Amino acid sequence: MTDKFLKRYSYNITANDFMSAGKSASAIKSNLKSLGIDSNTIRKISIISYETEINIVIHSYGGKLHCDIYENKIVIISEDTGPGITDLDMAMTEGYSTATDSVRELGFGAGMGLPNIKKYSDQLEINTSSTGTTIIATIYL
Amino acid sequence: MNFSIMFDKDKCRGCTNCMKRCPTQAIRLIEGKAFINTAKCIHCGECIKICPYNAYSPESIEWYNQMHDTPKKFKIAIPTTSLYGQFPRGTDICKVQNAILKLGFDFVYDASWAADLVAKAIKLKIDKEKTMRPYISTYCPAAVRLIKYRYPSLMDNLILIREPMEIAGILARERVRKKFGLKDEDIKVFYISPCPAKLLAVTNPIGDYKPSVDWVIPLNKIYGDLYREVIREDNITCSYPSLLGMKWAVAGGQSEHAELNNYIAVHGMENIIEILEEIENGKLSDIDFVEASACVNGCVGGTFNVVNPFIASSSINYISNSLPDECLNPDIDRFDEMYKTGFFNYKLKEEEKFDKLNLKEAVERNEKIREILDKLPGLDCGSCGAPTCLAHAEDVYNNESEFYDCVVLRAKK
């Protein structure tokens, strides 16, 4: 088994579009399912891609979600255009949220996004600045 | 393979109902007539139920010959639990077993007696092995085959405890060998079945065991003769089924009998598909046991039954709740000894296990199918003879059909 790259699925995510939030994560899930990937792995990837997608919708000015398939791993990459995570350590704490009340009224922003992403990733890399945030979550097969 | 769904080509009008309904997409239209790919068919009976022109009928063609052309064999009958729901209220069901003997069988072993043992084995396995959740019942052969073809990653969730029909067959054979000094090859075991899927379980089992049952008799084919014998005044020999075992015919009965409290009993093809999707999404890992039956209300909904599934459920619940439990289960005392020796367990064959996939091949295959699909109109009209555009794209990829079978594209060309 090598870590040869096989395929990238990419999706554009619009900021504040709560109607479509979650659709890219579902599309990733159905793609992985049609590839015959086992349910445990799909479950982890679904949670990670859903949470990253929602984060882009709530907190960013818009961005992209990629699902990269390698022979031995799946990598979920989210890239957004800002404004960045001010306090990354706090953001990794369960229950800590910077979401506004109006977002919380929609049922989002419980402060579980990044902690869940970390919990289900085998490897996690976060780069953030005022111009944007990149999250790279790897799940080994 | 022994196929138990008969198809009358002359009655078929090519309406696509069955093709769209088939849960494993085993049906295609070829020159305007339905055609079942027997390798994909799970014998669930959905096509029989939906066809507006009655082109399909359930049949176990050889059952009559199997029963009557083997006079030298000692014949054992195993009545299915749903049989007890087929009689009018007030029928003395303790006379059913004797009536079966009168039809030409030499020995009867009730499936409900075996269910008593299997329920205990399920309970013990669930209490002992907590790493796998949820376990999925292996009772409904159509549900097990649906999992094999459509949800292969859930094969690991199957509880792999032999179902009552199998256990009944083994125990009945053992009894007859001892009691009458017969050899195994002189005995033939018949299961009186509520559905065509049980025939598949006997002729093409999923698992590494040799089936103990030889043939399946459709319940409806012998019901008339049987009922006449049940109500005859000189039928006075009484033998009770297990009142809880009998409930296996009704959805939820297995779990109730196994004294489980954290379970899902789901029935009907669309419903079990929804639940299997949920399990595949990892959402039901807090549930101990999932009882999935392909037919509405459980085995009482099988196509070989004579009575409406709701009436049959009601009858079984009525009998089970109102009769005193006089069942003398012939083998219940031996349970501990059987369980210790692993009598109830079986394994999957190597090729039935969930394969580690070759992702590279899967990605390439998906890309090629996607390329074909992108050129199709996406109407899922079924006119090409495949149930969806995606299924047509897969057929084209597998060289099983022509790209221009698509009528929309042909019209544009």
* DSSP E strands, B185-307: 187-193, 215-218, 263-267, 289-293
Cα gap A34→A27, rounded to integer Å = 11
The least confident of A109-113, B29-33, B236-240, B308-312 is A109-113
Q: Are residues B4 and B37 in the same domain?
A: yes
> Taking a C-beta distance cutoff of 8 angstroms, is the pair B8, B48 a contact?
no
pLDDT tens-digit readout, B13-23:
999 999 999 99
Distance in angstroms between the alpha carbons of the first and the last residue of chain B = 42
Three-state SS for A22? Answer: coil
Please list every residue in chain A whose beta carbon sits closer than 8 Å to the beta carbon of residue B370.
Answer: none
Residues spanned by the domain of B20: 1-59
Together in a domain, B245 and B149? yes
Instruction: For an interface test with A, give the residue of B148, B157, B354, B359 to mutate (most A CBs within 10 A).
Output: B359
Chain A CA closest to residue B280? A39
Helix (H, G, I), strand (E, B) or coil at B144: helix
Kindly state whether residues B48 and B102 are assigned to the same domain.
Answer: no
Cα nearest neighbour of B357 on chain A: A36
| pLDDT reported for residue A108 | 85
- d(C-alpha B405, C-alpha B383), whole Å: 8
- Which residue in the block uniquely carries the two structure tokens 């909904």? B301
* Contact: B154, A35; criterion CB under 8 Å: no
Exposed e or buried b for every residue in B235-272, given b needs 16+ CB within 10 A? Answer: beeebbbbbbbbbbbbbbbbbbbbebeebbbbbbbeeb
The predicted-structure confidence for B324-363, as pLDDT tens digits, reads as follows: 888 888 899 999 999 999 999 999 988 887 666 788 888 9
Calculate mean pLDDT across residues A16-32: 90
Of B20, B43, B59, which residue constitutes the final position of a domain?
B59
The predicted model gives B231-251 an average pLDDT of 94
What CATH number does residue B55 fall under? 3.30.70.20
Question: Are B2 and B99 in the same domain?
Answer: no
For the entire predicted model, the pTM comes to 0.85
At B351 the pLDDT is 80
Mean pLDDT over B284-305 rounds to 95
* Residue A103, min C-alpha distance to chain B (Å): 25
Cβ A35–B357 below 8 Å, yes or no? yes
> What residue in B sits closest to A74 (Cα-Cα)?
B359
Dist CA B260 CA B365 (whole Å)? 43
Check if the beta carbon of residue B172 is closer than 8 Å to that of residue B65. Answer: no
Q: Which residues of B touch A37 (CB under 8 A)?
A: 357, 359
Task: Test A43 with B367 for CB contact under 8 angstroms.
Answer: no
**Distance (Å, rounded) from C-alpha B316 to C-alpha B245?**
10
pLDDT of B83 reads 97
Instruction: Mark whether B244 and B392 lie in a shared domain.
Output: no
Residues B164 and B285 in one domain: yes
* Number of residues in chain B: 413
State which residue of chain A sits closest to B362, comparing Cα positions: A35
pLDDT digit string, tens, across residues B129-153: 999 999 999 999 999 999 998 888 8
Q: Of the residues B59, B78, B103, which one is the last residue of a structural domain?
A: B59
List, edge to edge, every strand of the sheet that includes B215-218: B107-108, B74-79, B187-193, B215-218
Q: What is the ipTM of this complex?
A: 0.78
When CB atoms are compared, the residue of B154, B281, B363 closest to A46 is: B281
Residue B179 has pLDDT above 90, yes or no: yes
Taking 90 as the threshold, does the pLDDT of residue B47 lie above it?
Answer: yes
> Which residue type is seen at B377?
P
B210 & B292 share domain: yes
CB contact under 8 A, B282 and A42: yes
If we measure between CA atoms, which residue out of A51, A48, A23, A45 comes closest to residue A33?
A45
Contacts of A40 in chain B (CB under 8 A): 282
How far B374 CA lies from chain A's nearest CA (Å)?
Answer: 15
Single residue among B352, B372, B399 that ends a domain in this structure: B352
On whether both B5 and B110 belong to a single domain, the answer is no
Residues B309 and B412 in one domain: no
Q: How many CB atoms lie within 10 A of CB A54?
A: 20
Least CB–CB distance from A6: residue in B154, B357, B363: B363
Total domains in the fold of chain B: 3
pLDDT at position B1: 44
- Report yes or no: A32 at the B interface, CB cutoff 8 Å: no
- Cβ count within 10 A of residue A59: 22
> Residues B239, B362: one domain?
no
Burial (CB < 10 A; 0-12, 13-18, 19+), residue A25, is buried
- Read off the tokens for B108: 């009867």
Which residues have C-beta within 8 Å of that of residue B4, sequence separation ≥ 6? B43, B58, B59, B60, B61, B196, B199, B200, B216
Asked if residues B19 and B29 have their Cβ atoms less than 8 Å apart, the reply is yes
Sheet holding B289-293, edge to edge: B135-136, B289-293, B263-267
Contacts of A33 in chain B (CB under 8 A): 280
Is B5:B47 a contact under the CB 8 Å cutoff?
A: yes
Interface contact flag, B363 A4, Cβ < 8 Å: no
Omega before B71 cis (within 30°)? Answer: no
Q: Do B144 and B217 have their domain in common? A: yes
Which residues of B sit within 8 Å Cβ distance of A? 152-154, 279-282, 354, 357, 359-360, 362-363, 366-367
What are the chain B neighbours of A27 within 8 Å (beta carbons)?
none
Are residue B178 and residue B278 in the same domain, yes or no? yes
- As a whole number, mean pLDDT of residues B40-63 equals 86
Domains of chain A listed by start with CATH number: 5-140 (3.30.565.10)
